Amino acid sequence: MIGETQRRLLLRLAEFGAEMEKSWDVPRTLSLPGLAEHLGLVRSAIHTPLKELQTSGLIETRSAHVMGGGSRRRTIVHLTALGRERAEALASEEVVPEARGRSVGPLPDSIHLRGRAEVLDHMVELLVSGQHLLLSGLPGVGKTSLARAAAGGLLSLGWRVRWATAGADSDASSIGGMWLDGASPAAPAAIAAAAGGAKTLLVIDEAQELHSRHVEAVSELVSAGAEAATAVLVASRAPSPFGLPNGFEELRLEGLATADAVGLLPEDVSNELATKVAKALGGHPLALRLWSPDEAVPEEGVAVQEYVQSTVLARLSEDGIGTLGELSLSPVPLKVSELEDDSGTAELDDSAVLRWADTLVEPHHLIRNVHRAALSDDATREVHSRSAEFWASREGARARRIEVHHRLNSGTETDAKWLTESLAIIARADSAAAAVIIEEAVERSDDASLRLAAVDLALERGEQFIASGHLEEVDSSPQRLVREARLARLSGQTAKAEELEKEALQDLPAAEAVRQQIAALVRRHDDRLPGAPSNSKAADVEAIDISRLADSDRAPAALALDLLRHAIAIEAGDVEAAANARSSLVAAMGEQHPRLALLDLRARLAAQAAGAVDAAREFIESATEPIESIRAIHATLEATASEHPRWLTAEAARISNADLRTDLASHRRLAAQRWYWRGVLEPSMRLAHWREAISRFKTAECSRAASDLLERLTRSL
């Protein structure tokens, strides 16, 4: 007679093919900690059932390398041939609801829930009725597991579930990326419009992990999602970072009832002892999984945090504590291969201290928070200092993001120039992470360059309120006026922006003043919707005097002006002016420069020359730089506005998620245009895409284009 735990073990193991039996690299789910997690039991609770299954010849164990689990070999479990036969027989008896819906995002593996049937049924009932829920409770009480079970219930009813798990670097756009399984709009309203729909559940798990920098935008996303989707579910440690959103009902998750909590403990523990432990720990699921039969019964009524500190962490070895400290003070989850010292990983995993998301690992938040609080200031600074040096030897934006965090918290002075350069590297890969880091940096430093960098990043992200707050801390200067002008444009105050810019130009150094003038002309030329005339005039270009610039600055300024002259001439149909500008560009760049090929293509498309569209296709298909491909596609879309060729719409879809740098104004404008064209080519998503385009045009300081598109969108509705 097979017991319940043995039955669930056999069914779980049957999910993996026989090819795993000889594989050196195996998934963690076949290890003892992985199996215990799936069953929702303490690790020791599966020892006896596994031993009985092995004695019956249904399973076998061996040592192998667990993928992502470090270099140390671990004990893993496989079914025998007899075990597979028994598992197949058990599966035929199973009544499993068919998952008829579709999930998007990092949906966690489901685990067996005990003692939550009533609250789960209530949650599913509320969500199906369209009620938005905030699921709150202590860390480790089972919010994620319950939310996952509720999502599974809706999937079985044919719903679409979009799942996002928040982290320290998550902003509205990254949550949208999880919901949409790819590139996401940045504007909360546009994200919600794209992700919402009938019979759709939007989930944000671990909301308490959000950094304060991103809370407001995510709160807007939650509100927008409540209007666009059938139901929204937010899971957060109490209190949630944005309180109880309007229209939400809060469900407070408490510990398990004693009778249910006892079921999490090993079967060979007496009912009397199990009852005492369950009562002492208040039915807290994670605390129960952390308890070992080798330990005494905790004092009844002991706080879970105190139990973790006095018992769970006290039993760890020096290696375990060392690895736990490194993981606890990391700003983001890590791969085991990224640890400076992974010697304690296996011990932490065996002790149920760790939580895994694919190959990334971190301590359970309850453990992390308790351990952080227990570390002395000196010990904390030592871990940060050591980790900073370790990450300094690694390359890439992720390494810089983690290194900067440790440097800022190491108690040593950080070089402002290095920090600014590192922030630029981080921002190119993840502006949300850079925003978190820069908030930490300005809290620790009065350096004016950091404050200006914080303003610039906020402006590039379209965060007017944050940019304004940082600007208030910047001393009066021409550089401040330039940023005040940008902020005014971001707010749609064009006249005020021009006044501030003129005032700044009077006191800026010559080279910087010319750069600002050229940037203003380019922005004015681009501030329009495709097909609309620009406000640029050739006379404005000729009015810029670059003679006072140093030779090193004069050449790039002349090149930028020639590019603008060529664009204005093409738009005006001035063949002679276009030819003169092209000649100057050839002299500066050379006839074979790839940029000239794009300029020539644009000229042919604007003139509707014979064969221009075919030439465009050849250019697009052979382009090696994504940015040039995007520009050519947009120019061809504009030239074929009456009827877009099928190959062109396919190319536009192909580049819809290509990376563009938010720290470059030209890329921000190009991103806005791309969302505009997506709205044209995807009529069913026009509302979402044009909302995002409007937001992007504003971020790119193209207020005229934003206003015109808003008017066009309003008319279309």
517 belongs to a structural domain? no
What is the bridge-based pairing of β-strands 248-253 and 354-357? unpaired
Report the candidate in 436, 405, 460 with the shortest Cα–Cα distance to residue 215. Answer: 436
Distance between CA atoms of residues 18 and 427, nearest Å: 45
In sequence order, the β-bridge partners of residue 62 are: 76
Instruction: Check if the beta carbon of residue 206 is closer than 8 Å to that of residue 233.
Output: no
Q: Which amino acid is located at 349 in the chain?
A: D
Q: Are residues 483 and 434 in the same domain?
A: yes
Q: Is 319 left (phi over 0), alpha (psi -120 to 50) or beta?
A: alpha
What integer pLDDT is reported at residue 595 of this predicted model? Answer: 87
Q: How far apart are CA 143 and CA 126, in angstroms?
A: 16
Task: Give domain status of residue 631, yes or no.
Answer: no
Residue-wise pLDDT tens digits, 489-542: 998 899 999 999 999 999 999 888 988 999 999 999 999 999 898 888 888 899
pLDDT class of 96 with cuts at 50, 70, 90: low
Which of 93, 111, 128 is a domain's end point? 93
Whole-model pTM above 0.75?
yes
pLDDT digits (tens, 9 = 90+) for 204-254: 999 999 999 999 999 999 999 999 999 999 999 989 999 999 999 999 999
Contact 388, 421 (CB under 8 A): no
* 23 occurs within a structural domain: yes
Same domain, 203 and 307: no
Q: Compute the distance between CA of residue 534 and CA of residue 407 in angstroms, rounded to an integer.
A: 47
- Per the domain annotation, does 78 fall within a domain? yes
Q: Both ends of the chain: CA-CA distance in Å?
A: 65
High-pLDDT (> 70) share of the chain, %: 99
Q: Is the pLDDT of residue 98 over 60?
A: no
| 236 and 289 part of one domain | no
Q: Does one domain contain both 350 and 399?
A: yes
pLDDT digits (tens, 9 = 90+) for 246-295: 999 999 999 999 999 998 888 888 999 999 999 999 999 999 989 888 88
Q: Quick one: DSSP state of residue 31? A: B
Q: In what order do the strands lie in the sheet with 360-363?
A: 334-335, 360-363, 354-357
Q: Please tell me whether residues 118 and 172 are part of one structural domain.
A: yes
Residue 477: Cβ within 10 Å count? 14
Is 675 contained in some domain? no
- One domain, residues 484 and 412: yes
pLDDT at residue 1 in the model: 67
Q: Are residues 210 and 270 in the same domain?
A: no
Range 521-554 burial, b when 16+ CB lie within 10 A, else e: bbbbbbbbbeeeeeebeeebbeebebeebeeebe
Among 68, 93, 118, which residue terminates a domain? 93
Give the end of a domain, one of 481, 511, 541.
511
User: The tokens 């990450």 sit on which residue?
Assistant: 391
- pLDDT category at 74 given cuts 50, 70, 90 is confident
Question: Do 354 and 496 belong to one domain?
Answer: yes
Query: Mean pLDDT across the stretch 45-61?
Result: 89
What pLDDT, in 10s, does the model give residues 352-406? Answer: 899 998 889 999 999 999 999 999 999 999 999 999 999 999 999 999 999 999 9
pLDDT greater than 90 at residue 446: no
Q: Are residues 370 and 299 in the same domain?
A: no
Residue 617 falls within a domain, yes or no?
no
SS3 701: coil
Rounded distance between C-alpha atoms, residue 30 and residue 496, angstroms: 64
Contact 281, 298 (CB under 8 A): yes
Instruction: Give 141-196 pLDDT, tens digit per residue.
Output: 999 999 999 999 999 999 999 999 999 999 999 999 999 998 889 999 999 999 99
Residue 533: inside a domain: no
In DSSP notation, 505-566 reads HTTS-HHHHHHHHHHHHHHHHH-S-TTSPP---HHHHHT---TTS-HHHHHHHHHHHHHHHH
Which residue from 175, 176, 170, 213 is spatially nearest to 458, judged by alpha carbons?
213
CATH number of the domain enclosing 373: 1.25.40
Q: What is the mean pLDDT of the chain?
A: 91
Q: Report the residue count for the chain.
A: 717
pLDDT for res 672: 95
The SS3 call for residue 355 is strand
User: Given this model, what pLDDT does residue 387 score?
Assistant: 96
Q: What is the pLDDT of residue 194?
A: 93
Instruction: Determine the pLDDT at residue 95.
Output: 63
Q: How many domains does the chain have?
A: 4
**What pLDDT, in 10s, does the model give residues 8-48?**
888 898 888 888 888 888 888 888 888 888 888 878 888 88
CATH number of the domain at 39, please: 1.10.10.10
pLDDT score of 4 more than 90: no
Instruction: Return the pLDDT at 455.
Output: 95
Helix (H) or strand (E) holding 63: strand 59-66
Structural domain contains residue 414: yes
DSSP 311: I
In a shared domain, residues 412 and 429: yes
Q: Which segment of 124-128, 224-228, 338-342 scores lowest on mean pLDDT? A: 338-342
Q: Look up the CATH number of the domain holding residue 131.
A: 3.40.50.300
447 shares a domain with 327: yes
- The CA distance from 166 to 145, in Å, is 15
| Coil vs helix vs strand at 293 | coil
Rg over alpha carbons for the chain, rounded to the nearest Å, is: 30
Say whether both 279 and 364 belong to one domain. no
SS3 66: strand
Residue numbers of the domain that contains 407: 318-511
